[in-house]
Amino acid sequence: MRCQPDICSALLLCFWTLNVYVPHVRHITLHECLILHYMSLSPFRQLHTPTNLLILSLAVSDFLFGLVVTPLQAYQLTTCWYLGDLICCLYVYVNSIILGASIGNMMLISVDRYVAICEPLHYPTRVTVTRVKMCVCICWTCSVVYNGLIIKDFLTRPGGFRFCHGQCLGGTDLISGIVDSVLSSLAPVTVIIILYMRVFVTAVAQARAMRSHVAAVKPSGTVIIKKSELKAARTLGVVVFVFLMCFCPFFFLSFVADISSNGLPRILCLLMLFISPCLNPVIYALFYPWFRKALRLIFSLQILQPGSCETNML
């Protein structure tokens, strides 16, 4: 039996892929290249901080997701899989590695923000560049090893989990699937929500304390503190909402529906999953003022001037 996507799903996918998503992938890929350039190769020493190293790792995973996973996924959904079982195995394995590393990077960023806001006095000693580098290496290594163990049956038996000819679908046994669902979706989501809720509560409490102190000295300062409080709440809300909005639908669908078909729900969930790498640079990079300043210095070629490495970026 040959796999054939239904007409409605195919039309929707073709519209999004050809007219909307592909141009954005090109722009986001260029955007990620800029991030990798100015954070890993640029001479701005002030940008070499633990938090920026985590953003760099997230940018690498997003870049690989848009460069490797997206084209093959679009190819798989729009036509039958003619690339063979070996490429299918590599695609499923690399897809799992990149997605796992991306989720791990988000967890590391949430831990970094938690320590920075909830335990600011211990942040300089607990979160160092060396420790962050080790955590990033462990994150990627664990993603490689863990996903290899989870889909080992699929890697040793390529094509054993597909339901029809022309389909590339990874699979695991029941126990491995349950363990993977808990470790790759439920646990990370729970950890990130708990950490960001603690950060949110702490930020609101500190803002209210500052507002009370400023109000006693200067009543006009109440509005300024209130704006800062709303901005912190909005930023943290966007981070949590975007992560849940993009990742949870696909994982939820894997529990309640057949993800092997190219139906409309699966395609919509995949699109949400693909949108996340496009939004991560906006959330974690564009919201920082030094990002725009660094881009101006790069495009104006001021980084070629002597002493540019000592430029005040913060």
| Mean pLDDT comparison of 10-24, 127-141, 210-224, highest-scoring range | 127-141
What are the sequence ranges of the domains in the chain? Answer: 7-310
Residue type, 183: L
Q: Which residue is listed with tokens 């195919």? A: 10
CATH of domain 7-310: 1.20.1070.10
Model confidence band, residue 227 (pLDDT cutoffs 50, 70, 90):
low
Find tokens 């529906």 and name the residue: 257
Judged against a pLDDT cut of 80, whether residue 125 lies above it is answered with yes
Higher pLDDT, 311 or 242: 242
Which of 65-79, 80-94, 121-135, 249-263: highest mean pLDDT? Answer: 121-135
Percent pLDDT > 90 in the chain is 6
Q: What is the pLDDT of residue 110?
A: 86
Tell me what the mean pLDDT of segment 119-123 comes to.
84
Q: What is the average pLDDT across 76-101?
A: 80
Higher-pLDDT residue of 251 and 200 is: 200
| pLDDT for 14 | 45
Taking the C-alpha atoms of residue 222 and residue 119, their distance in angstroms, rounded to an integer, is 25
Residue 269: per-residue pLDDT: 76
Token output for 307: 């002493």
Q: How far apart are CA 13 and CA 284, in angstroms?
A: 28
Around Cβ 19, how many Cβ atoms within 10 Å? 9
**Is the confidence at residue 70, as pLDDT, over 70?**
yes
- Residues 127, 130, 134, 135, Cα dihedral to 10°: 20
pLDDT tens track for 261-286: 556 777 777 777 777 777 766 776 66
Q: What is the pLDDT of residues 27-54, one digit of tens each?
A: 555 555 555 545 544 556 667 788 888 8
Alpha-carbon span 284 to 159, nearest angstrom? 39
Alpha-carbon gap, residue 224 to 221, rounded angstroms: 5
**Confidence band for 132, pLDDT divided at 50, 70 and 90:** very high
Length of the chain: 314
